[in-house]
């Protein structure tokens, strides 16, 4: 069924976050981000996970994050949970988990902008 961010999705997401024991760390502090702050990382900044713990990274995996969306019309940049990059930076973020996020990425919690 195609649709928005439904109550069932919210309950499932909350259960997942509770299971991982990190719900309190997922509350966004701003509306824009680039959370990779390692100044010495020389690769793609959207692949810099050096500031993210293993449990935090598992949250990303639990949500089925992939860096290239398999659905052309559903990408992070048009998701209601997207946090756009801070000015001058290239990676955004997600309200659901920590770390850099590609604008063309996707996860199973994609929700249309309302």
Decide: is 52 part of the binding site for ligand SF4 (CB under 6 A). Answer: no
Cβ at position 40, least distance to ligand SF4 in Å: 26
Structure tokens at 103: 């604008």
* Number of Cβ atoms within 10 Å of the Cβ of 74: 15
CA–CA distance, 83 with 104 (Å, rounded to integer): 13
Nearer to ligand SF4, 39 or 72 (CB): 72
SS3 content of the chain, % helix, strand, coil (to 5): 30, 10, 60
Query: Which of 52, 59, 62, 94 contacts ligand SF4 by CB under 6 A?
Result: 94
Nearer to ligand SF4, 2 or 39 (CB): 2
Contact 35, 29 (CB under 8 A): no
- Evaluated on CA atoms 107, 49, 87, 44, the torsion sign reads negative
Cβ at position 16, least distance to ligand SF4 in Å: 12
Site for ligand SF4 in 62-91 (CB under 6 A): 65, 76, 79, 81-82
**For binding to ligand SF4 (CB under 6 A), which residues are involved?**
65, 76, 79, 81-82, 94, 96, 101, 105-107, 109-110
């Amino acid at each position: 069924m195609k649709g928005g961010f439904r109550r069932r999705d919210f309950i499932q997401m909350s259960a997942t976050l509770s299971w991982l024991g990190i719900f309190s760390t997922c509350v966004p502090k701003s509306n824009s981000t680039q959370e990779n702050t390692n100044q010495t990382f020389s690769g793609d900044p959207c692949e810099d996970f050096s500031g993210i713990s293993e449990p935090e990274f598992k949250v990303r995996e639990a949500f089925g994050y992939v860096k290239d969306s398999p659905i052309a019309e559903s990408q992070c940049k048009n998701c209601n949970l997207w946090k756009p990059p801070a000015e001058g930076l290239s990676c955004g973020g997600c309200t659901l988990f920590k770390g850099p996020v590609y604008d063309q990425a996707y996860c199973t919690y994609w929700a249309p902008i309302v």
